[in-house]
Structure 1
Amino acid sequence: MALKGKINVLVVDDSAVVRQTLQQILQSDSQIGEVVTAGDPYAATEKLESFVPDVITLDVEMPRMDGLTFLKKLMSQHPIPVVMCSSLTIDNSETFMKALEYGAVDIIQKPSLGTKQFLEEAKTRICDTVKAAASVNMKTHRARFKPMQVAPKLTADVILAKGNESNKAMAKTTEKVVLVGASTGGTEALRVFLEMFPEDSPGIVVVQHMPENFTKSFAERLDSLCRITVKEGENGDTVLPGRAIIAPGNKHMLIKRSGARYYVEIKDGPLVSRHRPSVDVLFRSGARYVGANAIGVIMTGMGDDGAKGMLEMKEAGAYTIAQDEATSVVFGMPKVAIQIGAVNDIAPLEKICQMVMGAYRGRR
């Protein structure tokens, strides 16, 4: 793990254009140092004899050896944070779900031509993802493995425009909603968290930083493992007990209220706190429309997305929990939320569900 100095990166991709583009993007960031490239896993193995990277970006489909095979060998012999690099099509989403299960810490989209805004967002996402990967506690990350069974930093104000004030949060009632935010390391943390919930759990709404086309497979995987129902969010979905809704990749998700019914709204918009979906957008909508009926949970992840939104939730009467440092793959988002006074309690991952259910059943 890179603690001091600049982050060194090994880019493994059979496309010379992709290698060159990633190298240029990464070297444009002042926190990233040497960027070495390799055309396939065999070439990467030779590079690793003399170059020790803090992060590896890895393509899946390559000659001589595919990325998944190389990833498994790497994790068993020389665990280094690996970010999978993909064209992000629906067809390969299952493959990349396997990559996360095998030990990859995140997924990024291969850079491609597009509008200036798209290119700037791609640059921001790629550099931020690689820097987050360099902060990963690999010991904690590997313990979670489970086999298959630079843009402006905008605030949530750009998504949460002033609306109908009559639909703001009601006074505290017995109907509670759990709002969850996570980033790097969150795919496995959410699996651990959601698998613990009984069928009579409160409704759960989740933002996990994840690219477009992958959240559907992620939700389906969780649905197959959990007692509760898990689905990718669609505009207008009702928040129901015993169901978790995962924000779709590349879309913001808010929670709203109509009478006594809570539902999600899916929206386009710019990056917020450098992300889309943004935890801040979800949490601030929770403060506005759910208020004291909300239970907020902030989990592993780099940066500060969700911290300010969680503070607003707490000030609105919500009960808020942060994952502790010992069980976080990256203790960034929870740390900032704790530092600004947004958190009621701090707990290890395995205890958070119990605390949520206690609050839901009125034992807090």
Structure 2
Amino acid sequence: MQPIRVLVVDDSAVLRRLVVMALTSADGVEVVGTAADGVEAVHEVLRLAPDLVVMDLEMPELDGIGAVRVLRRRGCNVPVVMVSTPTDDGAQATMAALAAGAADFVPKPVRATSAAEALGMLRADLLPVVRALVPRSLPRAPAAGAPAPSSSPDRTGPDAASGGGAGAPEPGPAGDEGVARGRATGHGGAHRSPVPPVPVPRSVPSRSAAPGPVLGPPPGAAPSAARPSPAALPGRGPGVAPALVALGSSTGGPEALAALVAALPAGLPVPVVVTQHMPPVFTRQLAARLDRLAALEVREAEDGDPLVPGRLLVAPGDRHLEVRRDGAGLVATLTGAPPVHHCRPAVDVMLRSAASAVGSGVLAVVLTGMGSDGRDGCADVRRAGGRVLVQDRATSVVWGMPGAVASAGLADAVLPLADIAPAVAAACRRPVLLAGRGAR
């Protein structure tokens, strides 16, 4: 099995060496070169054809954002992972890099008190990202002048079976190592696999005394080869509408959210909550960017914020967002409870609380992401009578989270990213009659 070939770019020799050590300490990862600025990085990418680039944001000559833009203009879609300073300025620059086509980011270990601690933090953050973006079972593009491989790698292993837009890991615990950060949709995907048949939603036993309506096709029904129109997918009958939209995302989430949220109408008649796997500071900048793009009001959630129509609240880094009843209304509650799937905020926490508070009025949407966070929460949403949409494999950077939901038979529909906002808007135009039914 071929190793993952990585180019490391940083103007700081100390950090460059730490990144190299973090990568080479893992089996199956090979550092094929280094560069000290963006100009040299572009040259080395074109010369070495690495599988992935780890790049600093702030560099002389040409910074990381500029280097990503040059690579994308030249048609080079190699995944680029930025190493970002966890400050407001650094987070803002990170959002710009993701918009330019970077695949992901990891924070610099600025709070480390020793070189050993810094190395450990880089390994924990970086290695899961590298392995998610570049499955080792996929063939590598040869470097300039290199001979073509004599045979193709085996494409029948778990990576090939579950690979997403940029190479997805098999949904499940193996993809949950570390806290996933955000990746840009459609840019990091150097390898794509055919889209498999979508499993028919299975029957989910209800834990509620008042179960919701029957969900989707009956168990055992054959999936339709033709995809229905987005407007027809979320509804399960006249008069059924969500009272809350809950979005979960991770790997590739910032750009997926940007596309989805920008397409939602200003008059959306329900509140929206978002959990994106990101550390503190970065979620605040993510909310600010979404607010600039969206017709809705978007901001980072604060404890006790009311959930009102036309407003979207983003879970802050290092805090779970839970949905709670407050009289006749809903509020966002922030907690420091233990991480779930190594993540805080976690999508499962948000969805489980939403199912408990809103019942069949929940419309859950799971976007691109590494791991399986959201699968258990979607099971609770389905038990309560709510509905679930997931992003499809072809438009996901990593089809871990949405793939886990779909593979468990919990998705009412598996849609391309561009179809999700119209599906949500269409569902929300229906009059609310069953919202709250089945709440525990």
Short-chain TM bin = 0.7 to 0.9
Displacement of 1:174 after TM fit? 6.6
Does structure 1 conserve the Cα–Cα contact (< 8 Å) formed by 2:32 and 2:48? no
Q: CA deviation at 1:55?
A: 1.3
- Whether 2:24 is the aligned partner of 1:57: answer no
Structure 2 residue 249 is matched with structure 1 residue 182: yes
Q: Once the 2 structures are TM-superposed, how far is the Cα of residue 240 of structure 1 from its aligned partner? A: 0.8
The alpha-carbon deviation at position 220 of structure 1 amounts to 1.7
Instruction: Report the Cα offset of residue 319 of structure 1.
Output: 0.7
Match of 1:245 among 279, 289, 313: 313
Q: Which gives a bigger RCO, structure 1 or 2 (Cα 8 Å, sep 6+)?
A: 2
Q: 2:354 aligns with which of 260, 277, 286?
A: 286
Residue from 17, 21, 34 that aligns with 2:18: 21
Q: Which amino acid counterpart does residue 354 of structure 2 have in structure 1?
A: G
Shift of 1:270: 4.2
Q: 1:257 to 1:140 in 2, by over 3 A?
A: closer
Q: Distance in 1 between matches of 2:383 and 2:246?
A: 15
In the TM superposition, residue 296 of structure 1 has moved relative to its aligned partner by 0.3
Cα offset for 1:31?
Answer: 4.5
Q: Which residue of 2 aligns with 1:10?
A: 7
**2:38 touches 2:62 (CA, 8 Å); kept in 1?**
yes
Residues 322 and 45 of structure 1, relative CA distance in 2, 3 Å threshold: closer
Q: 2:328 aligns with which of 237, 249, 260?
A: 260
Look up the equivalent residue of 1:298 and give its one-letter code. Answer: V
Q: Distance in 2 between matches of 1:47 and 1:143?
A: 18
SS of 2:259 mapped into structure 1: helix
Of residues 28-37 and 287-296 in structure 1, the stretch that sits farther from structure 2 once superposed is 28-37
Conservation of the 8 A alpha-carbon contact between 2:165 and 2:397:
yes
- Is 1:228 matched up with 2:226? no
Q: Is 1:141 the equivalent of 2:141?
A: no
CA distance in 1, matches of 2:266, 2:275: 21
- Relative to structure 1, the CA distance from residue 210 to residue 169 in structure 2 (aligned partners, 3 Å threshold; closer, same or farther) is farther
Alpha-carbon distance, 1:140 to partner: 6.4
Once the two structures are aligned, what percentage of the paired residues are identical? 37
Please give the alpha-carbon distance, in whole angstroms, between the structure 1 residues aligned to 2:414 and 2:351. 18
SS in 2 for 1:290: helix
Judging by fraction of residues, say which structure has more helix.
1
Pairwise CA distance, 1:119: 7.2
* Aligned match of 2:87: 89
CA distance 1:223–1:278, change in 2 (3 Å): same
CA RMSD of aligned residues (A): 3.0
SS in 1 for 2:186: helix
SS at match of 1:141: coil
Contact in 2 for aligned 1:308/1:342 (Cα 8 Å): no
Deviates more, 1:96-105 or 1:63-72: 63-72
Contact kept? 2:211, 2:383, Cα under 8 Å: no
Q: What's the offset of the Cα at 1:169?
A: 12
- Please point out which of 105, 108, 123 is paired with 1:107: 105
2:358 partner letter:
V
Please give the alpha-carbon distance, in whole angstroms, between the structure 1 residues aligned to 2:29 and 2:331: 41
TM-score by length of 2: 0.69
Inter-partner Cα distance in structure 1 for 2:210 and 2:299 = 26
> Aligned to 2:247, what secondary structure does the other structure show?
strand
| TM-score for both structures, normalised by structure 1 | 0.83
- Asked if 2 retains the 8 angstrom alpha-carbon contact of 1:169 and 1:291, the reply is no
CA offset at residue 89 of structure 1? 0.8
* Cα distance in 2 for residues equivalent to 1:265 and 1:52: 47
1:207 to partner: Cα distance: 1.0
Q: Which runs of 5+ in 2 are unaligned?
A: 136-163, 167-183, 190-207, 213-239, 435-440
Number of equivalences: 338
**Structure 1 residue 142: deviation in Å?**
3.7
Equivalent positions of 1:337-356 (< 5 A) are: 337-356=405-424
Q: Secondary structure at the match of 2:31?
A: strand
Cα distance in 1 for partners of 2:382, 2:321 equals: 20
